[in-house]
C-alpha cells in the first residue's frame, strides 16, 4: 500500500480506517484492482456493517442521559439503497426529503410511522404520499401547511412538526420565525384542523453544540405556547450536524496550522473546511448537548421533566466509515516549478468538495498496480479528473508522492459515504455513472461484493 510523504508537499492527513476495511486494503489490494477492472473507475464500495456500529454508539450516548429518543437516518447523504436497508435493520427511522427517498425507505421495510419528511419545498405528490402512509412531516412554512392541509382530504390527518428558524439563523430561508410559528400553532389548535401536531423541528448549519443549545432554549418557550393552546407536544427534532472524525484530531490541527498557499496549486488556501479532525465524536457531541444547561437544569433533565422525546437526524455521521471510492490513474503530467498533476479516470463530480470552494482534507491511499520495481522519482502533484473542465480538480492540494503514480495505479479515498461520492455525479462526456458495490461480510471473515 503506497503512502504520501509529509515533508515537502501539503501536510499529511492520513485517513482513519475501519479495521475491517483496512484489512481488505492492506491484505488484498489486488482484489480492489480486480473490482475496478470489472466495474470501471471511479468505483464506490459501501460497507453497511459500519452503520450498526455507529447507531449503537449514538444510542448509548442518548440512553446514558435517560432520555427518550428517535434516530432518523438522513438518507439524502448517500444514494445507496443498501445503506438505507442497513439503517432500518439497525432500528432507525428514516429522514426523507423527496418522494424517491420515501419510496426507497418503504421498499427497505421502514415503518411508515417512523419516516420524517424534511426539506423546504415538498411537492404535492410527495405530501400526498406522506399523508397516505402516516409519515411525520416537518412543515417549513405557513404556505406548506396550507398545501399539506389540502392533501388530508385523501388520507388525513397529517402528522406535523413545525420547523422553527432560531435567532442565530435569522437570515436563513428555512423554517419559520416566532410570528409564523405562533400563527401555525393557532391554526393547528382549531377543532376542525386536519392535523395531528407532534412537536417542533429545527436544523442549523455548522457542527457546534452551542448553537443547538441556544436554539433549544428558544424552542422550550414555543413548547410552553403550544401547551397553553392545549396542543400535545411529544417530540423535538434538532436535525443533524453531528461531527465525523475522518483524521486524527491532533494531526488535523497541526496540518491546518502548518498549511499555506504554497501547498495548493491555486496559490490560495480555501476559506473554510468541514472539521475533518473533529475533537468530538458524534457520541461525545450528543452527550455534551444533553448535559448543557436548560431552565435551571440540563437539556436532558428538561426533556425528561416535560415527557419529551429528542429526535436527531444523523446523515454523514451515521454513515461514518461506510464507503470508499477508488479512482484509476490514467497518467501524470509535469507542469514545471516542481509540481505536476495526476489525472484519474473519473471526475470531481464524484468527489465534489472542490466544487464548494473547499477541500476534502483526507489524503488518498496509493495502491500500485505493480508494487514490484517501484523505484523512481517522487512527485509533488494535485489530482484532476478526466473531463475538459479546468475546474475538474479532485484536490488542489499539492501532495507529495514518494514514487510518482503510474497508469493503472489506484487512488483510494476513504470514508466517502457522507455527501462525497455521489452528490454531483453525472454522465458528463457520456461517461457512465460510477458503479456502486455493496460489501457483505462472508463466513471466512472476508467480504463478498455485489451491485447495490
pLDDT tens-digit readout, 22-81:
999 999 999 999 999 999 999 999 999 999 999 999 999 999 999 999 999 999 999 999
* DSSP line for 148-185: HHHHHHHH-PEEEEEEB--GGGTT-SSSB-HHHHHHHH
Buried b (16+ CB within 10 A) or exposed e, 4-30: bebeebbbbbbbbbbebbbebbeeebe
Residue (of 132, 127, 123) closest to 154 by Cα position: 132
C-alpha span between 173 and 214 (Å, rounded): 19
Report residue 154's pLDDT band, with 50, 70 and 90 as the boundaries: low
Would you kindly state where each structural domain of the chain is located, as residue ranges? Answer: 19-47+321-451, 49-245+281-312
The answer on pLDDT for 374 being more than 90 is no
Q: For the domain with range 19-47+321-451, which CATH number is right: 3.60.10.10, 2.40.37.10, 1.10.10.350, 2.40.160.20?
A: 2.40.37.10
Question: In 119-226, where do the E strands start and end?
Answer: 136-139, 158-163, 195-201
CATH architecture of 49-245+281-312: Alpha-Beta Barrel (3.20)
Report residue 200's pLDDT band, with 50, 70 and 90 as the boundaries: very high
Q: Are 245 and 281 in contact (CB under 8 A)?
A: yes
Residue (of 141, 143, 189) closest to 163 by Cα position: 141
pLDDT value at residue 144: 97
Mean pLDDT of the chain: 94
> Per-residue pLDDT averaged across 358-378, rounded?
87
Instruction: Please give the backbone phi and psi of residue 365, each rounded to the nearest 5 degrees, phi first.
Output: -110, 125
CB atoms closer than 10 angstroms to residue 153: 10
pLDDT value at residue 34: 97
What global pTM score does this model have? 0.94
343, 344, 345, 349: CA torsion to nearest 10: -100
Instruction: Please give the backbone phi and psi of residue 381, each rounded to the nearest 5 degrees, phi first.
Output: -150, 155
pLDDT value at residue 442: 87
pLDDT value at residue 155: 66
> Per-residue pLDDT averaged across 150-169, rounded?
89
pLDDT value at residue 443: 73
C-alpha span between 241 and 315 (Å, rounded): 8
Q: Which of 149-153, 221-225, 282-286 has the lowest mean pLDDT?
A: 149-153
Cell 401555525 sits on residue: 184
List the end-to-end C-alpha distance of the chain, in Å, as a whole number. 27
Q: Which of 118-127, 271-280, 423-432 has the lowest mean pLDDT?
A: 423-432
Residue (of 378, 390, 384) closest to 348 by Cα position: 384
The answer on pLDDT for 205 being more than 50 is yes
Q: Are 117 and 138 in contact (CB under 8 A)?
A: yes
pLDDT value at residue 394: 96
The grid cell for 103 is: 419510496
The answer on pLDDT for 5 being more than 70 is no
2 membership: H or E segment, kind and range: none
Report residue 3's pLDDT band, with 50, 70 and 90 as the boundaries: very low
Amino acid at each position: 500500500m503506497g503512502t504520501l510523504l509529509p515533508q515537502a508537499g501539503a501536510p499529511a492527513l492520513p485517513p482513519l480506517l475501519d479495521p475491517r476495511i483496512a484489512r481488505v486494503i492492506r491484505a488484498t489490494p489486488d482484489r480492489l484492482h480486480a473490482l475496478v477492472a470489472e466495474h470501471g473507475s471511479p468505483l464506490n464500495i459501501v460497507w453497511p456493517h459500519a452503520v450498526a456500529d455507529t447507531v449503537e454508539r449514538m444510542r448509548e450516548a442518548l440512553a446514558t442521559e435517560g432520555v427518550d429518543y428517535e434516530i432518523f437516518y438522513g438518507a439524502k447523504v448517500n444514494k445507496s439503497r443498501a445503506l438505507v436497508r442497513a439503517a432500518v435493520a439497525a432500528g432507525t427511522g428514516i429522514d426523507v426529503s423527496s418522494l424517491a427517498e420515501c419510496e426507497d425507505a418503504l421498499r427497505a421495510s421502514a415503518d411508515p410511522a417512523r419516516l420524517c419528511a424534511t426539506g423546504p419545498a415538498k411537492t404535492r405528490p410527495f405530501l400526498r404520499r406522506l399523508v397516505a402512509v402516516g409519515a411525520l412531516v416537518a412543515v417549513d412554512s405557513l404556505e406548506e401547511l396550507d398545501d399539506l392541509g389540502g392533501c388530508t382530504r385523501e388520507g388525513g390527518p397529517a402528522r406535523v412538526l413545525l420547523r422553527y428558524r432560531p435567532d442565530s439563523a435569522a437570515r436563513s430561508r428555512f423554517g419559520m420565525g416566532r410570528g409564523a410559528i405562533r400563527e401555525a400553532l393557532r391554526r393547528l389548535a382549531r377543532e376542525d384542523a386536519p392535523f395531528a401536531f407532534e412537536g417542533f423541528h429545527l436544523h442549523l448549519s455548522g457542527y457546534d453544540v452551542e448553537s443547538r443549545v441556544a436554539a433549544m432554549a428558544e424552542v422550550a418557550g414555543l413548547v410552553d405556547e403550544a401547551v397553553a393552546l392545549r396542543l400535545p407536544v411529544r417530540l423535538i427534532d434538532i436535525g443533524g450536524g453531528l461531527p465525523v472524525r475522518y483524521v486524527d484530531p491532533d494531526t488535523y490541527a497541526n496540518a491546518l496550522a502548518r498549511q499555506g498557499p504554497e501547498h495548493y496549486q491555486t496559490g490560495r488556501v480555501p476559506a473554510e473546511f468541514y472539521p475533518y479532525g473533529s475533537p468530538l465524536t458524534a457520541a461525545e457531541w450528543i452527550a455534551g448537548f444533553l448535559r448543557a444547561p436548560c431552565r435551571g437544569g440540563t437539556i436532558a433533565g428538561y426533556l425528561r421533566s416535560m415527557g419529551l422525546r429528542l429526535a436527531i437526524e444523523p446523515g454523514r455521521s451515521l454513515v461514518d466509515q461506510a464507503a470508499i471510492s477508488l479512482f484509476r490513474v490514467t497518467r501524470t503530467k509535469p507542469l514545471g516549478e516542481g509540481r505536476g498533476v495526476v489525472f484519474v479516470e473519473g471526475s470531481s463530480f464524484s468527489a465534489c468538495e472542490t466544487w464548494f470552494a473547499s477541500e476534502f482534507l483526507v489524503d488518498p491511499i496509493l495502491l500500485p498496480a505493480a508494487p514490484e520495481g517501484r523505484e523512481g522519482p517522487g512527485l509533488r502533484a494535485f489530482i484532476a479528473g478526466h473531463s475538459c473542465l479546468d475546474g475538474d480538480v479532485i484536490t488542489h492540494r499539492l501532495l507529495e508522492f514518494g514514487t510518482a503514480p503510474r497508469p493503472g495505479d489506484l487512488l483510494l479515498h476513504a470514508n466517502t459515504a457522507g455527501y462525497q461520492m455521489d452528490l454531483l455525479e453525472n454522465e458528463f462526456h457520456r461517461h457512465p455513472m460510477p458503479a456502486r458495490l455493496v460489501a457483505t461480510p462472508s463466513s471466512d471473515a472476508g467480504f463478498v461484493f455485489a451491485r447495490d
